[in-house]
């Protein structure tokens, strides 16, 4: 087992080597070498993404199985031309979940690993010339881990890879009472500064797997659509409604969040635009405030905080 920092999972990638002879031969183009990738259990060293705590001194309590964090595992191999040559999908229903066995011919490859709580769509759209290269995500989403690594195969090899969490958890807490006319709450993370009216922009919802970057397409594709949270009658008149979602974030960023209450026809009743929200993978950001009225006292404004003990205890208050 390996200790990990907040927001990272340790993946041990083990490629077992055969016994070598005392002479070197040039591998032929059809020869393949065995690849065995073992994804081990790992421990928490601090309060994790979901607020759980694990003791690193008690191996039984500290050891979390991979299935506690992800339910789906994707292994993709791209050649030197970034063409997919092998893909293996696993779920927790597989007896070998976390153990990938493969074989590759000699050459240079990029291995991409995606682990996710929910099923992840990996594919593309021929119109945008992407096929089996992109992992797409939508709201409300779930936990996601990702890593790419390059290898040169000339014989059996052994490597170890750290797989990193690539999502931030965003929590919106609406403190005032919900009117009966409200049927949906929409939450839209988008760019900061806010895009001009009529401009289709937003936060990228995909990973280009062989590069570890995000891609935006012509016509505004490649961005998250707003998340629509249905409001049942049982929530009317209640306060402190909390809505959580996961946002793909490959590097720290400053974003805006547009929060709207909607009627039965999806017409806007009220809107709050929260700007300069800092998000980072492995961190939880909380927006807290009133959507329907500016009540005096603590409820006024949006309170932005982070539930990670490694960050300052000071919070940022955004008034609206």
Say whether pLDDT at 308 is over 80: no
* Mean per-residue pLDDT over the chain, rounded: 77
pLDDT band at 202 (very low <50, low <70, confident <90, very high): confident
pLDDT band at 154 (very low <50, low <70, confident <90, very high): confident
- Lookup result for tokens 């070498």: 33
Q: pTM value?
A: 0.78
What percent of the chain shows pLDDT beyond 70?
A: 68
Q: Tell me the pairing of strands 2-4 and 42-44.
A: parallel
Q: Which among 288, 222, 277 has a CA at the least distance from the CA of 253? A: 277
Q: pLDDT at position 38, please?
A: 64
The domain made up of 168-203+226-318 has a fold known as: Immunoglobulin-like (2.60.40)
The tokens describing 204, both together, are 């990228």
**pLDDT tens digits, residue range 112-132?**
999 999 999 998 655 555 567
One-character DSSP codes across 159-202: --EEEEE-EEEEEEEE-SPPPTT--EEEEEEEESSPPPTT----
Contact call for residues 173 and 242 (beta carbons, < 8 A) = yes
Q: pLDDT at position 6, please?
A: 35
Q: Give the domain ranges of the chain.
A: 2-20+30-165, 168-203+226-318
**pLDDT tens digits, residue range 92-108?**
999 888 888 888 999 99
Note whether 2-20+30-165 and 168-203+226-318 share their fold: yes
Question: How far apart are alpha carbons 45 and 140 in whole angstroms?
Answer: 27
pLDDT band at 180 (very low <50, low <70, confident <90, very high): very high
Preceding peptide of 294 cis, ω within 30°: no
Beta strand ranges found along 92-180 (DSSP E): 99-105, 107-116, 121-123, 134-136, 144-153, 161-165, 167-174
The stretch 42-71 carries a mean pLDDT of: 52
Say whether pLDDT at 255 is over 80: yes
Q: Write down the architecture of domain 2-20+30-165 according to CATH.
A: Sandwich (2.60)
Q: pLDDT at position 124, please?
A: 64
Contact call for residues 254 and 189 (beta carbons, < 8 A) = no
Largest CA distance in the chain: 81
Three-state secondary structure call for residue 269 = strand
Listed range (58-67, 98-107, 184-193, 307-316) with the worst mean pLDDT: 307-316
């Amino acid at each position: 087992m390996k200790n990990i920092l907040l927001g990272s999972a340790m993946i041990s990638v083990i490629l077992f080597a055969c016994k070598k002879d005392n002479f070197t031969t040039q591998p032929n183009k059809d020869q393949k070498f065995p690849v065995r990738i073992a994804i081990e259990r790992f421990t928490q060293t601090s309060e994790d993404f979901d607020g759980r705590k694990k003791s690193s001194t008690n191996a039984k309590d500290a050891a979390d199985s991979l299935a506690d964090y992800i339910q789906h595992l994707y292994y993709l191999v791209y050649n030197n031309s970034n063409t997919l040559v092998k893909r293996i999908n696993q779920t927790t229903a597989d007896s070998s979940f976390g153990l990938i066995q493969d074989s590759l011919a000699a050459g240079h490859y990029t291995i991409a690993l995606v682990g996710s709580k929910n099923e992840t769509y990996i594919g593309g759209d021929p119109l945008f010339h992407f096929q089996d290269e992109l992992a797409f995500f939508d709201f409300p989403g779930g936990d996601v881990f990702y890593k790419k690594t390059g290898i040169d195969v000339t014989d059996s090899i052994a490597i170890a890879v750290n797989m990193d969490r690539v999502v931030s958890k965003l929590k919106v807490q609406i403190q005032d009472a919900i009117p009966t006319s409200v049927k949906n709450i929409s939450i839209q993370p988008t760019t900061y500064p806010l895009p001009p009216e009529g401009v289709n922009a937003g936060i990228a919802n995909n990973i280009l797997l062989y590069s570890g970057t995000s891609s935006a397409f012509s016509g505004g594709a490649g961005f998250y659509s707003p998340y629509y949270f249905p409001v049942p009658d049982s929530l009317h008149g209640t306060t402190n409604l909390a809505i959580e979602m996961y946002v793909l974030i490959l590097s720290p960023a400053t974003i805006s969040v547009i929060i709207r209450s909607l009627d039965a026809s999806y017409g806007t009743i009220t809107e709050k635009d929260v700007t300069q929200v800092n998000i980072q993978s492995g961190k939880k950001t909380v927006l807290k405030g009133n959507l329907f009225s500016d009540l005096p006292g603590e409820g006024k404004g949006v309170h932005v905080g982070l539930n990670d003990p490694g960050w300052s205890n000071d919070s940022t208050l955004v008034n609206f």
